[in-house]
Structure 1
């Protein structure tokens, strides 16, 4: 039995849309997206007009979307610089899978936050968790060493670097590293997330492997839903070395399914977006 995939919320789907097609990638424009076009394009994945408008308002209040005008003067919304940076940072995680080996070592984040700033303690913990850190001890978090640069960049951008010391090193005992890893991360929960993704999207890939040609609207719909499901997983999963994972670990298979859907559907979906913007 697997956990269900998280629901596709309007706000999440809008962020996913901009990440996939709203940055001038895959041949789509980089400027503001007219609100009417955004409503049409989100309607293709089941989001109604009031939900789109409400989600856009919330994303605008959070500083992720900004108002603008298209070349022909229509009102629209584009990404803020902060949102563009977040999406750019996420590309390596979402579209790539680092090759990690036990010999690369570990990154330790040791932090202390004054009680009067405990709201920053919560923010720090949530960001470390999103970067793939596990908990080695209270105030000591651990991740594979390959996340060092992204961790440094994220903490500096959020003004949290003054509370944290970062160290790189090896695990020297006393229990086997495979047993320690099972304490530092909830591997069962991570495996369930991967299996839920596979349960939903592996049949989609099988259907597309038999389908020629690729209809743009269907490709766009299936790709956006797959990306919206997938983009959370590379942040929950730190991509531990294979030697430290259970033999039946589903993460590699889930990554291959998403990569195949990306290769098959993304560019075809861009044609539908281009039509929807006109």
Structure 2
């Protein structure tokens, strides 16, 4: 697990609800069981400060920026599906001006996919959900955009085709097999010790979080009734919830130790 990804998971899943700040020494100890070295943690922290995800203080602590909190809030809604209101029938479209720089173009495309949009063409992106973060991203990147919302966008099959649901469904089926093997040592025999619960839950979350870049969180109205993502989500919810108390004890032990 890369240090930067591990830090995003740690802040998003645990530290965000505990003030969003931790000393560097605690961060190193928390990520050690995941095989992340101290130099890798320090390097990742420096880069995340430069990218304005974190701020550093004189006491050696690192805290989430407001931008990071907003980003993690949106990610959390999609990871745990806490906002599954009925779809209002609107499609949200963005037509982008050409981005000539390849690295910048790929960065924008990757972040748009993370925010639940998919390309209908090279310039036109669509989502059934509104997202303030999409407009913030395009403004930050200086991309001229035509934005509009429509209930008349057709055909629906062509719009859904932008999300490649066949490949996504296969990915969910594959994930279920891998996730079952991951949590198997903790099933039927309790969660094990707190460290093991933290490690297994972290790895489960890390693998599940990858779907943020491929699954736009389409409303149930637009998905097949036997959608594999529903089975995968139920599995994730069951085991993430089961392992949370022990994983939380591990986090709290180290955070409390830092204040003594």
- TM-score, normalised with respect to structure 1: 0.77
Corresponding residue of 2:28: 39
Corresponding position: 1:20 with 2:13 = yes
Q: Displacement of 1:164 after TM fit?
A: 2.9
Go from structure 1 to structure 2 and tell me whether the alpha carbon gap of 1:129 and 1:36 turns closer, same or farther (over 3 Å shift).
same
> Structure 2: which 5+ runs fail to align?
none
1:124–1:160: 8 Å Cα contact kept in structure 2? no
Equivalent of 1:169 in 142, 145, 151: 151
d(CA) in 2 for partners of 1:153, 1:53: 32
2:28–2:37: 8 Å Cα contact kept in structure 1? yes
Name the SS for the 1:231 alignment partner.
helix
- TM-score, normalised with respect to structure 2: 0.82
2:114–2:216: 8 Å Cα contact kept in structure 1? no
Alignment of 1:84-233 (within 5 A): 84-96=69-81, 98-99=83-84, 104-113=89-98, 122-144=106-128, 147-151=129-133, 154-155=136-137, 158=140, 162-173=144-155, 177-178=156-157, 180-181=158-159, 183-212=161-190, 215-233=193-211
Corresponding residue of 1:4: none
> Structure 1: which 5+ runs fail to align?
1-7
RMSD (Å), alpha carbons = 3.0
Q: Single out whichever of 100-109 and 123-132 deviates more from structure 2.
A: 100-109
1:132–1:237: 8 Å Cα contact kept in structure 2? yes
2:126–2:159: 8 Å Cα contact kept in structure 1? no
2:118–2:162: 8 Å Cα contact kept in structure 1? yes
Go from structure 1 to structure 2 and tell me whether the alpha carbon gap of 1:273 and 1:140 turns closer, same or farther (over 3 Å shift).
same
Q: Single out whichever of 85-94 and 210-219 deviates more from structure 2.
A: 210-219
Corresponding position: 1:9 with 2:9 = no
Number of aligned positions between the proteins: 256
Q: Displacement of 1:13 after TM fit?
A: 0.5
Q: Displacement of 1:190 after TM fit?
A: 1.9
Alignment of 1:47-86 (within 5 A): 47-69=36-58, 73=59, 75-86=60-71
